[in-house]
Amino acid sequence: MRKPPYRMKGSDLFREGLRVFVNRIEEKFDLGLHEHDFIEFNYVAEGTGYQYLGDRPLPAARGDLFALPVGISHVFRPYSSEKNRRLVVYNVVFGKPLLEEIAAAAPELGLGELWDSLSAGRPEAGTVRDSRLTLEPLFERIHEEHAALRPGASAMLVSLLTQILVEWVRLLRARDEREEPPAGIETISEAVSFVRERALEPLTLRETAERFRLSERHFHRLFKRHTGQTFHEFVQHRRVQAACGLLRSTAHKLNAIAAMVGYRDLQSFSRAFKRIEGRTPGRYRKESLRIGY
């Protein structure tokens, strides 16, 4: 006779004052089928394997998100026991009252009705593939917030969970309803993510527009509408932001930092930095050291 799944309790997981629990674990073969009295979102960060919902095996790979209602028995299994076949998963745990609060704050999402349909016996319908890895930085951030427990952690965890839920619903709608976003919006969203990640590289407006198969003029118009900044302004702000981190945390010389964040010379770096920060890089460093941040 098969052993029944054991039940996990949220009261054993939630830290005092927090309504969200987060961990990042490498799945093995030692954990048995289990259920819980809380809602759980699983996001696959690395590797491949299977998510068993009762007896039903669902393939699991990087970027897959599983939304599990209360009482659903499940367990992850890596593809194999070989050392190089890892399966690493973020688990975000919270109670139904918190879900209801978020649903009430954003009624246009239809989150309550959606969750009721999953709870009625179709939990696999809540599984989505995050092909662009839009959710990955959110899961990284919510894990960091839970681990660090800095002042305001409770509010930040709820805020990040809300963002995860919103992105999840959008992915579901795109999958199930085949929603067509307004012309150019999907492309420009991808382009903004691309520029954000590569702003320290020698990017140009023309090359980026060509990469996303848009005319330079149309790309620039969509980019500014989406970000509120021109392409050049957006890149400069990302570079100065990166420079601030290096000025606070390293002893690198200014010309080295300028090169690291994408500037050809110290003069252009200092000019852009002062325009955005209102002070020179050297003064910023001195004041940061004095304040201690």
* Position 71 confidence tier, pLDDT thresholds 50, 70, 90: confident
Quick count: other Cβ atoms within 10 Å of Cβ 183? 9
**Taking the CB of residue 94, how many other CB atoms lie within 10 A of it?**
23
CA–CA–CA angle 160, 163, 169 (5° rounding): 145
**Average pLDDT of the chain, as a whole number:** 87
Contact 45, 19 (CB under 8 A): no
pLDDT in tens, 24-41: 999 887 777 888 889 999
Q: Which of 148-152, 156-160, 264-268, 279-283 is predicted most confidently?
A: 156-160
Token pair in block for residue 287: 């004041």
pLDDT band at 4 (very low <50, low <70, confident <90, very high): low
Domains and CATH numbers, the chain: 6-176 (2.60.120.280), 182-293 (1.10.10.60)
What is the pLDDT at residue 183? Answer: 44
- Report the largest interatomic distance among the alpha carbons of the chain, rounded to a whole angstrom: 75
For range 196-201, the mean pLDDT: 90
CB 47 within 8 A of CB 28: no
**pLDDT of 189 strictly over 70:** yes
Task: Of 18-27, 55-64, 102-111, give the lowest mean pLDDT range.
Answer: 55-64
* pLDDT above 60 for 178: no
Query: What are the helix (H) ranges across the chain?
Result: 96-105, 111-119, 136-148, 153-176, 185-198, 205-211, 216-227, 231-249, 254-260, 266-277, 281-291
